[in-house]
Amino acid sequence: MKIRDMLAVALFALAPVVATAHQKSTLMAKPPKGAIVLFDGKDASKWHHRDSNDECKWDIADGCLIVKPGQPDLVTKEEFGDYKLHIEFWLPLLANEKSQGRCNSGVYQHGRYEIQVLDSYNNPTYKFGGCGAIYGQKDPDKDAIKPPEQWNTYDITFRAPRFGPDGKVKEFPRITVFHNSIKIHDNVEIKVSNTASGLGGEQPATGPILLQDHGAPVRYRNIWIVPIKAKA
C-alpha cells in the first residue's frame, strides 16, 4: 500500500461518525416501555372529535382507524408536552383527484403544527404542501412517500415551545421527523404558532395529537406516544 493510500485509510478511520439519515424500519414497531398506546387496532377511546368532544365516529376496520369524511378531526383526550410519536398511515388511490385533493389528512402536534399527509406520489402540489411537509413552512428534506396503498410510517420527535416569565415564547417548538425511516426534518424550529386548520388560539405548553379529516378515507394504525420529561 502506498503511503498516500495508508494516509487515506487512517483519515477515514479517524473521521467522525456522521449521524445517519436513516433508521431501521419501524413498520409495525411494538410500543416501547413507557409508551401510551393511542390506537391498538381496535380501541379508539383515547380520542374524541374536535369541538364537540363526541366519542370517535370514524370507522374501525381491519385494525385501522379510518377517516370518515364529514366527521371532524380526531383529537386525543390527553395532552402532551415533549414526546416521541409513532404512527402509520395508508393512502387509498384516488386517481381522479389531484394536488391537495388526493388523500389529504394530517398529523398535528399540539393540535396546531401539521405534518402533512397526502398522496403526493406522482402528484405535484404546491410548496410546503406535500406529504411530510411542515404545512406552510418547510418541505421535507427528502421525498419519502411510497406509492399509494402501502403503509407509511412517521416517527416524530417533538419539543414543545418554552416560555419566558412574561408568558411569551422564548424558544420555538422543534421537530424531527422520519418518514419511512428517512429523516425528512432534523430538529427544525417551527416559527408559526399554528399551521392552517389547527386548533388556534394561544400557543400552549402542552396539547393533543390531532388527526385531520380532509375528506379522504385515510387509514391509520399502530399509534403510540412516549412522553419525554421536559428539561428546562
Return the closest-CA partner of residue 85 out of 176, 162, 10, 173: 176
In the complex, minimum distance from the CB of residue 197 to Mg ion, in angstroms, rounded to a whole number: 7
In the complex, minimum distance from the CB of residue 57 to Mg ion, in angstroms, rounded to a whole number: 19
In the complex, minimum distance from the CB of residue 201 to Mg ion, in angstroms, rounded to a whole number: 19
Q: How many CB atoms lie within 10 A of CB 222?
A: 24
Q: Which is nearer to Mg ion, 76 or 212 (CB)?
A: 212
Q: Rounded to whole angstroms, how far apart are CA atoms 77 and 111?
A: 11
- Phi/psi of residue 181, nearest 5 degrees: 70, 10
Return the closest-CA partner of residue 24 out of 173, 178, 141: 178
Among 47, 58, 104, 175, binds Mg ion (CB under 5 A): 104
| Residue 204-223 contact track with Mg ion, rule CB under 5 A, x = bound | --------x-x---------
Q: Rounded to whole angstroms, how far apart are CA atoms 57 and 71?
A: 7
Question: Count of residues binding Mg ion (CB under 5 A)?
Answer: 5
Q: Which is nearer to Mg ion, 80 or 89 (CB)?
A: 89
Q: Which is nearer to Mg ion, 183 or 214 (CB)?
A: 214
Query: N- to C-terminal Cα distance for the chain?
Result: 53
Stretch that binds Mg ion, among 40-48, 67-75, 111-119, 136-144 (CB under 5 A): 111-119
Residues of this chain, 113-172, that bind Mg ion according to CB under 5 A: 116
Q: How many CB atoms lie within 10 A of CB 150?
A: 12
In the complex, minimum distance from the CB of residue 167 to Mg ion, in angstroms, rounded to a whole number: 30
Residues of this chain, 50-79, that bind Mg ion according to CB under 5 A: none
Q: Which is nearer to Mg ion, 106 or 148 (CB)?
A: 106
Residue number of the CB closest to Mg ion reads 106
Among 106, 129, 132, 140, binds Mg ion (CB under 5 A): 106
In the complex, minimum distance from the CB of residue 95 to Mg ion, in angstroms, rounded to a whole number: 19
In the complex, minimum distance from the CB of residue 86 to Mg ion, in angstroms, rounded to a whole number: 19
CA distances from 64 to 44, 68, 136, 162 (A): 10, 12, 28, 35
Q: Rounded to whole angstroms, how far apart are CA atoms 225 and 212?
A: 18
Q: Let me know: does 117 contact 145? Beta carbons within 8 Å.
A: no
Task: Please give the residue ranges that form the binding site for Mg ion (CB under 5 A).
Answer: 104, 106, 116, 212, 214
